[in-house]
């Protein structure tokens, strides 16, 4: 008969441990406070300003800034931003998943780091320079149409249209999707894939029933990162989409630095974006792993 050993009660951190925790977390906490929390509070305060600028009294209440978000013209701008962000996320996922799978599971091990470096290299240059490069490629007299003319094929004019915006944004955010998916696919349990094949599952059934559930956290994290980044993108829609591609980022810019000069409404738009991103992250943290574990 063996004696059962009762677990020892948890001990509270000693004062010296609290000092160590404070030293380790203090700099990052101060950084977040100064560069995230306080600026967000300032934006929230400005969103309740009842005038065009602090000190002006035009609107009867600062809450009118939030009601203006639901005007028809502003809802169209928000819808266009969601359209670009959703489409860019889908493109990056469709393009990035096969590439990530090939690098993680099929490419020679000695080449994997080099292949990943190839996707990271564009991030070493300015996003503005990359966008101007796409202007040079996509303009009517650019590189793409020159190649098509050489091949005696019809030319394509997509600059200053939605298609050009999708091309530029997908190019900008594809490396993030590939890196996150690679980290998830690298840990894929191949024994489960072999077991599914032994049980009679075809390739598509194995993909949907085994591969996707195992890599769902990576899919969700990569999609969320690309969606949030694309939702607030300013450069690509502005330079590649032209005047007809007004997005919420451009609308916010107009309120602060453009002709509108309405700080309260611009801050209200910013707070709406911050709230949407916060809800998306909270849902991912709460349900992401649970959904990934479902068969």
- Please report which confidence band the pLDDT of residue 280 belongs to, taking 50, 70 and 90 as the band edges: confident
pLDDT score of 287: 58
Please report which confidence band the pLDDT of residue 92 belongs to, taking 50, 70 and 90 as the band edges. Answer: very high
Distance of CA 151 to the CA centre of its chain: 37
The answer to whether residue 148 scores a pLDDT higher than 70 is: yes
**Residue 13 belongs to a domain:** no
Report the range of poorest mean pLDDT among 122-126, 131-135, 241-245. 241-245
Contacts of 279 (CB under 8 A, 6+ apart): none
Tokens coding 53:
């600028």
What is the predicted pLDDT for the residue at 85? 93
State the residue range of the domain holding 229: 74-263+270-293
pLDDT tens digits for 56-69?
Answer: 544 545 678 888 88
Please state, as a whole number, how many other Cβ atoms lie within 10 Å of the Cβ of residue 62.
17
The answer as to whether 34 is a domain residue is no
Query: What is d(CA 92, CA 85) in angstroms, rounded to the nearest whole number?
Result: 11
Residue 159 counted as domain residue: yes
Write the pLDDT tens digit of every residue in 175-193.
Answer: 999 999 998 888 887 788 7
The total number of structural domains in the chain stands at 1
- Average pLDDT value for residue range 214-230: 88
Say which residues have a Cβ less than 8 Å from residue 17's Cβ, sequence separation at least 6. none
pTM comes to: 0.81
Separation between Cα atoms, residue 292 and residue 221, nearest integer Å: 12
CATH number of the domain within which 148 lies: 1.10.3720.10
Q: What is the mean pLDDT of residues 252-257?
A: 86
pLDDT confidence of residue 51? 58
**pLDDT over 60 at 293, yes or no:** no
Q: How far apart are CA 242 and CA 233, in angstroms?
A: 14
Would 3 be classed as within a structural domain? no
CA distance readout (Å), 7 to 1, 10, 18: 19, 9, 24
Task: Give the integer Cα–Cα distance in Å for 254 and 252.
Answer: 5
Q: Which of 28-37, 38-47, 94-103, 201-210 holds the top average pLDDT?
A: 94-103
Please report whether residue 29 resides in a domain: no
* Residue 132 counted as domain residue: yes
* Residue 44 domain flag: no
Average pLDDT, the chain: 82
pLDDT > 50? residue 232: yes
For tokens 């948890």, what's the residue?
10
Which pLDDT does position 203 carry in this prediction? 79
């Amino acid at each position: 008969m063996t004696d059962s050993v009762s677990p020892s009660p948890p001990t509270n951190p000693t004062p010296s441990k609290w000092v160590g925790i404070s030293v380790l977390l203090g700099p990052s906490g101060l950084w977040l406070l100064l560069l995230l929390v306080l600026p967000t509070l300032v934006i929230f305060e400005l969103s309740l300003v009842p005038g065009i600028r602090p000190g002006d009294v035009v609107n009867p209440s600062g809450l009118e800034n939030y009601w203006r978000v639901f005007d028809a013209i502003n809802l169209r701008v928000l819808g266009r931003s969601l359209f670009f962000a959703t489409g860019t996320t889908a493109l990056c996922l469709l393009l990035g998943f096969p590439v990530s799978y090939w690098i993680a599971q099929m490419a020679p091990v000695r080449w994997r780091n080099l292949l990943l470096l190839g996707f990271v290299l564009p991030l070493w240059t300015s996003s503005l320079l990359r966008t101007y490069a796409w202007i040079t490629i996509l303009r009517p007299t650019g590189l793409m149409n020159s190649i098509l003319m050489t091949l005696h094929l019809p030319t394509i004019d997509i600059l200053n249209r939605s298609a050009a915006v999708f091309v530029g944004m997908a190019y900008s955010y594809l490396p993030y999707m590939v890196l996150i998916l690679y980290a998830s696919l690298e840990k894929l349990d191949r024994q489960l894939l072999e077991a599914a094949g032994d049980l009679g599952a075809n390739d598509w059934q194995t993909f949907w029933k085994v591969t996707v559930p195992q890599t769902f956290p990576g899919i969700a994290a990569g999609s969320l990162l690309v969606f949030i980044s694309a939702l607030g993108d300013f450069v690509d829609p502005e330079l590649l989409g032209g005047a007809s591609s007004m997005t919420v980022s451009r609308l916010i810019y107009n309120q602060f630095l453009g002709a509108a000069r309405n700080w309260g409404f611009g801050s209200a738009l910013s707070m709406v974006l911050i709230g949407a991103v916060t809800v998306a992250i909270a849902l991912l943290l709460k349900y992401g792993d649970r959904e990934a574990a479902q068969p």
